[in-house]
Structure 1
Amino acid sequence: MDDIRATPFSAGLRRLRAETLHDGEQVVWQGQPDGVARMFMWRFLWWIGFPWLLLTVIAISNDWIGRAAQPLLMLGVAMVAAPLVMLLQDLQTLYLITDRRTLILRTAWGRRTVSQTPFQAMDAVFEILDVGGGAGHLNFASGRSTRSPDTDHTGRYGFRCVRNAPRVRDILEAARAGKMRRSHT
């Protein structure tokens, strides 16, 4: 079973996991998103943000933009910071497969959230989308609200940027079939 990475957020994730599991429910697998893979998926913002900031600083120093400087500067900072903010959110996320359901737990930004999907609410076939760097999106439910950070633009829901997604899919399929009680990897 993959363990929770040691970060300042680990204790909160462990507490939330303990509070969320039902009596007798066994964790088959747990893991966290690959935050570095997600950060690099969004690195194009750095290709835009750093030149944007440079041009904004040049425009400010030459007094070309006057009152528009602050919003332009804030937009550049947001583009540069966005991938790092996503990394921080991933460090505050835990994926679980139990013998009954999947769980996505978050303690991000002081809000504790739990999203669960019972096996009977899952799609018949799971989908993996490779994102590079050994990570992928494991989609196991469809028709979800696109407002969730774990849902893509089409409503496919699942574990985002999970390492070794084919192995996790196999574990989930075995757990749903009742063939696996606890992972030993």
Structure 2
Amino acid sequence: MKPQFPLKVLLCSAFIYFSCKQKKNDVFPVLDFIKAQVANVDTSVYSIIKLVPKTDSTYDTTYVKREEFKQLAKDFLETPDISKTFGGKYTEERMMNNDLGLAVFIATPKDQDLEVRRQEVRIEPDPPNDKIKSIYIEKMKNDKDSSVTKRMTWYADRKFQIVTITQEPNGEEKTSVMEVVWNQENE
């Protein structure tokens, strides 16, 4: 009887391991981080500035009310949370970029029909105080007669930028850029 005990323990352990093996999506939770950043700006005393380029050297600069900040960040906040709702549909590659001195997590979809086409998280490693430096998200939506690509970058504790590229049915491409800055001390 004793020889069967180790076998039973091994089989039981294997069963527990495979039963409990998580079927989660192992992708960085970007949306949670951005929501926390928005909440921080909402309670801060920073002045918020919206910049829209008019030419290569001139910008339309507008001071933004705190209540309007969340609306400007809407494209980030309405991005599908690929860390929770798309289990297994994205792969994440983690690497160290020695030139930048940053750890980079890159999530890409297995199916090119998904809205989020790329998500990059750049982290400055400093255990135990690792710090997120920036998040890049690329989204694409196809409508009946056009396609819209959004290339969005969130610079932690400082600003965000949204580049919108609209491809019209006639082949014409329109690009718009908006940058919102709230903490110029970290520039």
Normalised by the size of structure 2, how large is the TM-score? 0.26
Higher relative contact order (CA 8 A, sep 6+): 1
Larger radius of gyration: 2
Q: Which has the higher strand share?
A: 2
Q: Pick the structure with more helix per residue.
A: 1
